[in-house]
Structure 1
Amino acid sequence: MTTRDWTVSEISKDLHAWLPPRRGWGLANCGLLVSPRTALWIDTPYDPVLAGEFLDRSRALLPEGVAIDRVVVTHGNGDHYWGAGVVPEAEIIVTRGARDQMCFEPPPQQLHALVVGSDPKTPLGAYLRRHFGVFDWATTEPVQPHTYFTGELELSVGDYPVRLFSLDSAHTSGDLIVHLPAQRVVFTGDVVFASTPERPGDHPVHWAGPLSGVIAACERVLATEAEVFVPGHGPVLDRAGVRAHITYLERVRERAHALHASGVPAAEAARRVIAEGIAPELELPERLVVTIGTEYRHLDGTQRPGILEVMTEVALLAHELRSGG
């Protein structure tokens, strides 16, 4: 995969989406809204190379003298945020929850050291290199947000209104959605991982939960009455596509609760849900370890383990699935 494989698609007049050529960890969608005087990014790519390419593509669409002067970040995961350093003069806007979450995320240089320094002969090392080795954060410094909010925040980009809504705990503890009423478009962040019959996606991965919160966030997305939805990952959806995603989340929640009530441990519950063939068209089924583990913690009232422990479980299951175990 090269940056030239990525496409910028016009979603509506003056609104564009930067879409990855394939699915996978860290390959997130981003947005660009243009006006005669100002321009806004919605999320950024994962590393400076991809972000620099998105910036080049964006500049080709900007009027003379206009720069990317604001970036709305839908949540604090690095694959939506770490590219912000390529627009150092831009105002970075996040929820207060995202600002707090960023303090607990592994910084980019630490993650880079983990990926390149891990033993590729172990399941974790092989998994990290396979899925994250394409990114380069060796010199990436985290960019500090400038503006924080809770509830709602309304901006304008030229004559276009931009409405931001913070959400209760869902994918993370600091998600927001971006509603563009003039275009009837919502950028959902990672409360939606999209899939269509023509372009299947990946299993969602939810770190904060509970799933009822993710489902409520998807319903909030539909309540905007928008017609087009750009998810955090995967193809652009219509309203029926978001409804189909809600159905998937409800199925995972139902099975997680039933298996929890039967005393099945979380990791084994993920294995059973995969074996049952829930959404077999989706890739990265090992991510159900994270989502079902998150749901179990809400049921049990326990805290999330460290990210390294979680990813080790993910990698072990992926190794089992690849080896036919």
Structure 2
Amino acid sequence: MSITGGDVVDLGTGLYAWLPPQRGWGLANCGLLVSPRGALWIDTPYDPVLAGQFLAESRKRLPEGVSVDRVVVTHANGDHFWGAGVLPDAEIIATREAREHIHYDPTPQQQHALVTGSDPATPLGAYLGRHFGAFDWSATEPVRPTTYFTGELELTVGDYAVEITALPPAHTTGDLMVHLPAQRTVFSGDVIFSSTEDRPGDHPVHWAGPLSNVIGACEQVLATGAEVIVPGHGPVLDRAGVREHIGYLSYVRERAHALHAAGVPATEAARRVIAEGRYPALGLPERLVVTIGSEYRDLDGTDLPGVLQVMSEVAAVAHATELTVTGGGPE
């Protein structure tokens, strides 16, 4: 099994979005900004194979003598970050807060060993193999940012301004958004996951929260006045699409708070929200385990558990949901 290809969308004025060929865990959008005097990536694909494909597409659009010499990382999840190894000489820019999430996630080779070494007969092993088995990090060394910042940072790529703003804890503890005023575009990272009628997406997954911060980050995106929004995953949106996404986030937040007040445990709350079927076109509903769990932890004042524990709960809910849909399970 392998993942190849991807759509390159010309957003005008030297700006491009690279959209993966399918939806699912680890398949993130990336950006390329090109000028006669330099080029910049916004995020990277997950593994060296996909990153090499994005690099090949980038080089087709670079003027002679220009290379991609900077990468802005919207957050430290590997699917936006680990592919930077194909640009070994590039400056890698992230928020200072992103360090915390770098330490939370496994290294690429640790994740590769976990995916390839897990028992496929268990819910977790089967889930990891199905959703992450197509990626190869066997030879991927950890990537470290070279430039950290707090607050705001403004760069120039040729004549184009690149306005980078750190966000409060939302999808992770180190999110940022990238505003390109000349192109009237924002790359939001994973504070926005999108879905449209002709290109359905997946349920968001938020590791930090609370959801009020995620909603606030979406409103910051709109406050830039940008007309084009490239989310972390899913199709490119207009402003109305961002407002629709805020509606989704508000629904999940309201249900999480109501179920928390009723004393329903977090994982059971996720199961109940999944069963409501409010957004049937979205894939990976089991990811609500993570997002609702994050909301509960904010309400309770508790810390994020280990990633393996969280993914085990996600896999268990996915397994149970599949049995319910197919009518399988014990006689």
TM class by shorter chain equals over 0.9
Q: 3-state DSSP class of the match of 1:218? A: helix
Deviates more, 1:222-231 or 1:141-150: 141-150
Give the distance between the partners of 1:134 and 1:283, measured in 2 at CA.
18
Counterpart residue type for residue 55 of structure 2: L
1:303 aligns with 2:323: no
Partner of 2:57: 57
Q: Does structure 1 conserve the Cα–Cα contact (< 8 Å) formed by 2:46 and 2:78?
A: yes
Deviation string 1:196-218 (CA, Å, 9 cap, x unpaired) is: 12211100000000000000000
Give the distance between the partners of 2:257 and 2:3, measured in 1 at CA.
41
After superposition, where does 1:96-245 map in structure 2 within 5 Å? 96-245=96-245
Give the distance between the partners of 1:10 and 1:90, measured in 2 at CA.
23
Aligned-residue offset at 1:77? 0.2
Aligned-residue offset at 1:2? 5.3
Aligned-residue offset at 1:104? 2.1
Partner of 1:253: 253
Deviation string 1:196-255 (CA, Å, 9 cap, x unpaired) is: 122111000000000000000000000000000000000000000000000000000000
Q: Does structure 2 conserve the Cα–Cα contact (< 8 Å) formed by 1:229 and 1:239?
A: yes
Give the distance between the partners of 1:10 and 1:98, measured in 2 at CA.
29
Deviation string 1:186-205 (CA, Å, 9 cap, x unpaired) is: 00000000011221110000
Q: Does structure 2 conserve the Cα–Cα contact (< 8 Å) formed by 1:37 and 1:158?
A: yes
Aligned-residue offset at 1:100? 2.9
Partner of 2:69: 69
Aligned-residue offset at 1:149? 0.6
| Root-mean-square deviation over aligned CA pairs | 1.0
Deviates more, 1:14-23 or 1:108-117: 14-23
Aligned-residue offset at 1:167? 0.3
Counterpart residue type for residue 213 of structure 2: G
After superposition, where does 1:247-286 map in structure 2 within 5 Å? 247-286=247-286
Q: Does structure 2 conserve the Cα–Cα contact (< 8 Å) formed by 1:93 and 1:146?
A: yes
Alignment TM-score, normalising by the size of structure 2: 0.97
Give the distance between the partners of 2:46 and 2:89, measured in 1 at CA.
18
Partner of 1:84: 84
Give the distance between the partners of 1:271 and 1:144, measured in 2 at CA.
37
State the identity %: 73
Partner of 2:47: 47
Q: 3-state DSSP class of the match of 1:5? A: coil
Give the distance between the partners of 1:248 and 1:192, measured in 2 at CA.
11
Deviates more, 1:137-146 or 1:229-238: 137-146
Runs (4+) off by over 6 Å: none
Partner of 2:312: 312
Counterpart residue type for residue 169 of structure 2: S
Give the distance between the partners of 1:187 and 1:273, measured in 2 at CA.
29
Aligned-residue offset at 1:269? 0.4
Aligned-residue offset at 1:13? 2.1
Deviation string 1:90-138 (CA, Å, 9 cap, x unpaired) is: 0000000112321221100000000000000000000000000000000
Aligned-residue offset at 1:4? 4.4
Aligned-residue offset at 1:5? 2.7
